[in-house]
Amino acid sequence: MSTLSIHGYGDDLTVNDCRLGDLSPAEHEKIDLEKGGRNYNPLENVVISHVKDSSTLICRKPSENGVAAYIEEELIDGLCCYSAVNQGQLNQTIVDAVVKHLTEEKLPTVPRSIRHKYMSAFLLATTGITEMDRVVPKVAGVEAAELMFKLSRRWGYKIKGIPENEAIIVAAKGNFHGRTVTAVSMSDDPDAREGFGPFVPGIELVAFNDIDALTSLFEEKGEKIAAYLVEPIQGEAGVIVPNDDYWTQVRALCDQHNILLALDEVQTGFGRTGANFAHQLFDVKPDLMGCGKAAGGGILPVSFVAGTDEVIGVLTPGSEGSTFGGYPLGAVVGVYAIKVLIEEKLAENAKIRGAQLMSHFENMKNEFPDKIKEVRGLGLLTAFEMYDDPKLDGHQISLELLKNGVYAKETHHSTVRIAPALTIETWQIDNIAEAIYNVVKSI
Ligand SMILES: Cc1ncc(COP(=O)(O)O)c(C=O)c1O
């Protein structure tokens, strides 16, 4: 039997004889490659140690010359964990709530088979902020998409009257809903699918932002279609913002064919796009919406599906559940994540700071029309796309940005997404924009 010794905190955290503070970035990478699943390709030669403030990450590595214990570098966080940290790192209101909950209120974990009092607060807060009738708590973002899929199918059979096992869920080309078999069954990304078949049947893909394609599909197969499950703005696809009238047309089409509109707001929700939820910008209301990421305030994984009485009403005991979905600590974090969204006016700040960032992007596009193909965004979900040219490589840009003190990451080859915390300040946006300008200029 192997012996394992674990002690210390932070840099002193030591597993057997391996103390974290002694590891160089190359040694961290070696452990990752030898012991991990190799399912990510993190930026080279940088390891995050801790945060300095709501938008500043600190990388720390052992000093090679021994003069100082560590070399520290600051990075402005231009990604905020793919919109999981909209409230800013270590948001004090949420941290205080967690500490108080664990040390004074003392109810970390009980199962859903017995009621706990914090669930009531969670349901009141989540139905309140989403303006929906009912909410089902989950944990990861992908589970929200998965549950919307299940709910749509069951609603299709029980309410719409689709013949058993014939329901169709429509998804958009270029979508990203996560990594479960259902989510990759909806995906058209070969890397996400390769080797994972057979896939879930009953899925049809339609071009995003193409109302004619959706109309034809609904006309052809509408009787068997239960839902159009879709992101309001496609995030992983590179921040694809549809035409202004797309969502009102989609809503009307769904109503006409008695098809649910199930919006995946995992990335676009919680203030990211300049409204609490992106669909509000387009003046439509979905039948179902999935939230995740910032629903956990950057502290815990918290997700949920909100929906109408009619749709969520198809659930019955035993048909759905999750050990940690809505457990007491998660429920408290979820409630405080919403409190911060409202009280710190995150959506408003996203709108203002987003406009500031987009105006920097527009200037950059005007100055480098041969490099920048398009700039896109709503609120603080933004991206710039470069021309398809080996020299204009998004990964290389991300590496160069690191050297300029900014953490951002490419999506696909030539697009770089910038989506910082919604608490970000004016000067930090200017610094991000300046770093991007300098890097784009230099390539
Ligand atoms: C729109 C959307 N849905 C679902 C997910 C999956 O969330 P998670 O990684 O928490 O499972 C993501 C993650 O990026 C997402 O952007």
Question: How many Å lie between the centroid of ligand 1 and the Cα of residue 141?
Answer: 5
Burial class of 317 by CB neighbour count within 10 A (0 to 12, 13 to 18, 19+): exposed
- CA–CA separation, 125 and 2 (whole Å): 47
pLDDT at 261: 99
Which of 326, 343, 360 is where one domain is finished?
343
In a domain, 86, yes or no: no
Q: Which residues of 247-279 are buried (b: 16+ CB within 10 A; e: fewer)?
A: bebbbebbeebebbbbbbbbbbbbbbbbbbbbb
What is the DSSP code (8-state) at residue 243? P
Which residue of 143, 149, 176, 181 sits with most ligand 1 atoms within 8 Å of its CB, as the best mutation to test the pocket?
Answer: 176
Distance 350 CA to ligand 1 centre (A): 20
- Alpha helix segments (H runs only) across 163-210: 181-186, 190-193
d(CA 84, CA 227): 26
Q: Is residue 179 part of a domain?
A: yes
- In a domain? residue 87: no
Ligand 1 in reach of 177 Cβ (< 6 A): yes
- Looking at the fold, whether 230 and 153 belong to one and the same domain comes out as yes
Closest CA to ligand 1's atom 16: 267
Maximum distance among all Cα pairs of the chain, rounded to whole angstroms:
74
Residues 240 and 291 in one domain: yes
- Same domain? For 58 and 103 the reply is no
* CB 292 less than 6 A from any atom of ligand 1: yes
Strands 288-291 and 260-264: parallel
Q: In this structure, are 328 and 367 located in the same domain?
A: no
Same domain, 330 and 366: no
Distance 58 CA to ligand 1 centre (A): 25
Asked if 337 and 350 sit in the same domain, the reply is no
Choice from 184, 266, 302, 324 to test ligand 1 binding pocket (greatest atom count within 8 A of CB) = 266
Which domain does 322 fall in, by range? 92-343
Please state, as a whole number, how many other Cβ atoms lie within 10 Å of the Cβ of residue 39.
6
Same domain, 159 and 207: yes
- Whether 388 and 337 map to the same domain: the answer is no
Q: 62 CB contacts (<8 Å, ≥6 apart)?
A: 21, 22, 23, 24, 69, 70, 71
364, 256, 352, 342: which is closest to 294 by C-alpha?
342
What was the pLDDT predicted at 191? Answer: 96
The letter for the amino acid at 210 is D
Please classify residue 324 by burial: count the beta carbons closer than 10 Å to its beta carbon, then call 0-12 exposed, 13-18 middle and 19+ buried.
Answer: middle
The reply to whether 1 falls in a domain is no
Instruction: Let me know whether 287 and 323 are in one domain.
Output: yes
Extract the tokens encoding 136. 């089902």
CA–CA dist 414, 416 (Å, integer):
7
Going by alpha carbons, the residue nearest to atom 13 of ligand 1 is: 178
User: Does any ligand 1 atom lie closer than 6 A to the CB of residue 59?
Assistant: no
pLDDT per position in the chain (443 positions), as tens?
Answer: 679 999 999 999 999 999 999 999 999 999 999 999 999 999 888 999 999 999 999 998 888 777 777 889 999 999 999 999 999 999 999 999 999 999 999 999 999 999 999 999 999 999 999 999 999 999 999 999 999 999 999 999 999 999 999 999 999 999 999 999 999 999 999 999 999 999 999 999 999 999 999 999 999 999 999 999 999 999 999 999 999 999 999 999 999 999 999 999 999 999 999 999 999 999 999 999 999 999 999 999 999 999 999 999 999 999 999 999 999 999 999 999 999 999 999 999 999 999 999 999 999 999 999 999 999 999 999 999 999 988 889 999 999 999 999 999 998 889 999 999 999 999 999 999 999 999 999 98
Q: Supply the pLDDT for residue 438.
A: 96
> What pLDDT does 412 receive?
81
Annotated catalytic residue: which of 176, 218, 270, 304? 176
The per-residue pLDDT for 350 is 98
| Radius of gyration for the chain, computed over Cα atoms and rounded to the nearest angstrom | 23
The predicted structure's pLDDT at residue 399:
92
- The per-residue pLDDT for 334 is 98
- Does the CB atom of residue 231 touch ligand 1 within 6 A? yes
Could you tell me the CATH number of the domain that includes residue 357?
Answer: 3.90.1150.10
Residues 6+ apart with CB under 8 A from 364: 372, 375, 384, 433, 436, 437, 440
Distance CA 23, CA 78 (A): 26
Q: What is the pLDDT of residues 348-366, one digit of tens each?
A: 999 999 999 999 999 999 9
Strand partners, 137: 304
Which of 138, 264, 270, 339 is labelled catalytic?
264
Return the pLDDT at 63.
83
Which mutation among 293, 300, 305, 324 tests ligand 1's pocket best, with the greatest number of atoms within 8 A of CB? Answer: 293
Q: Give the residue whose CA is nearest to atom 4 of ligand 1.
A: 177
Please tell me if the CB atom of residue 235 comes closer than 6 angstroms to any atom of ligand 1: yes
Query: Does 149 qualify as catalytic in the annotation?
Result: no
pLDDT at residue 1 in the model? 62
